[in-house]
Amino acid sequence: MAEMMKGNIAIAEAAVRAGVRLYAGYPITPSSEIMEYLSWRLPEVGGAFVQAESELAGINMVYGGSSCGVRVLTASSGPGISLKQEGISVLSDEELPALVINVVRYGNGLGTLFSSQCDYLRETRGGGNGDYRCIVLCPSSIQEAVDMVSTAYELGEKYRVVVVMMTEGALGQMMEPVTLPEFQEPKRNYWGFDGKYSYKKIGIFDRDSKKEAVELNKKYAEIKANEQRWEEEGIEDADYVFVAYGVPGRSTLGAIRELRAEGHKVGLIRPITAWPFPEKAFEHINKNVKGIITVEANATGQLVDDAALFTKKVLRADIPVYALPFVYGVPPIREIKAKFAQILAGEIKEVY
């Protein structure tokens, strides 16, 4: 039965029901409700909650928990996620799964508290040192985020990678009807420390990094082949295809439906995985498409780079790619439509 829940609270409860038994982190708006909720909820189910002294300490506690084979979680936003990058790089190097929730807020440096999508490039490229990738999931509703939690752990454990759920301040703070999943029995993964087993990869000297790189590339290729996820609508005959993810993907869907009703042939690709990017969706686009348009809640246009890359790779044509960056917040339907009119009038030029 559905109940009204705030996004952060629903995600936290979904994690408990997915068998998470360790949360370690440090509070930061707009993600703090996840931590606050789990501070009393995890002890109720026999789990452990640690408010670390810093984000750095928190991610390294998560590393320790994952090395023991349990499902672990941390959450933060903006600069907090930046501080966790070395730990995420280490988790990736040791091939240990974890779920990292980034409730994205806008801005450079310490930033602001506005909902945003300005962390796209960091999350999809791997924000720490080294050669690694994280699976990046981008829900557009609270229900989708709740359903993704279990999927995130299944993917992380299958491929032994870190999974980032990239939500936004708006999604974390808004309320919607949610149906929560059933409880899963907590499990201990086979690689967990048992007092006898130790990692052969720890250290930097006695390793065959070239051999490891071959295996990593094989794994990432498998993820790209099998785990692309997206939603599409109207792209098979569209003159213009919008690409938008997360909550802006919802308002963009509303815009294309209104534009369709007004006689414009437009469609939408909503990436559900930002990495691996859903390049297979581009195979379904009308071969005579006139343009690709990204709608983004950031200032510089970041999603547009991937949209252009796979437009050129898959469609193999000189198709203009436009970016509509709305800086922060959720782009309103009327503004998306107004900017589309500017594209048609030649007032907004392509980025690629």
192-212 tens-digit pLDDT: 876 655 555 556 677 888 998
Closest of 87, 81, 85, 27 to residue 52, by C-alpha: 27
Amino acid at 29: T
Over residues 156-184, mean pLDDT: 98
Q: What percent of the chain has pLDDT over 70?
A: 97
> Mean pLDDT score of the chain, rounded to an integer?
95
pLDDT digits (tens, 9 = 90+) for 11-38: 999 999 999 999 999 999 999 999 999 9
3-state secondary structure of 138: coil
Total-model pTM: 0.96
Domain 3-226 belongs to what topology?
A: Rossmann fold (3.40.50)
- Specify the long-range contacts of residues 142-145, CB closer than 8 Å, at least 24 apart: 142/5, 142/7, 142/10, 142/11, 142/171, 142/174, 142/175, 142/176, 142/178, 143/176, 143/177, 143/178, 143/179, 144/272, 145/7, 145/10, 145/11, 145/14, 145/171
How far is Cα 143 from Cα 145, in angstroms, rounded to an integer? Answer: 5
Class level of CATH domain 231-344: alpha beta
Instruction: Give the pLDDT band (50/70/90) at residue 242.
Output: very high
Going from N- to C-terminal start, the domains of the chain cover 3-226, 231-344
Model pLDDT, residue 190 = 87
Which residues, in sequence order, are CB contacts of 349 under 8 Å at separation 6+? 322
Model pLDDT, residue 279 = 97
Candidate from 148-162, 176-190, 205-219, 260-274 with smallest mean pLDDT? 205-219
Q: How many CB atoms lie within 10 A of CB 252?
A: 28
pLDDT digits (tens, 9 = 90+) for 249-303: 999 999 999 999 999 999 999 999 999 999 999 999 999 999 999 999 999 999 9
Model pLDDT, residue 201 = 59
How far is Cα 196 from Cα 19, in angstroms, rounded to an integer? Answer: 25
For residue 120, give both structure tokens: 């796209």
Model pLDDT, residue 197 = 55
What is the spatial order of strands in the sheet that 135-137 belongs to? 48-51, 22-25, 72-76, 98-104, 162-168, 135-137, 273-275
pLDDT digits (tens, 9 = 90+) for 84-107: 999 999 999 999 999 999 999 999
Model pLDDT, residue 198 = 55
Q: Under a CB-based contact definition with an 8 Å cutoff, are residues 37 and 101 in contact?
A: no
Whether the domain at 3-226 and the domain at 231-344 fall into the same CATH topology: yes
Q: What percent of the chain has pLDDT over 90?
A: 91
Model pLDDT, residue 64 = 94
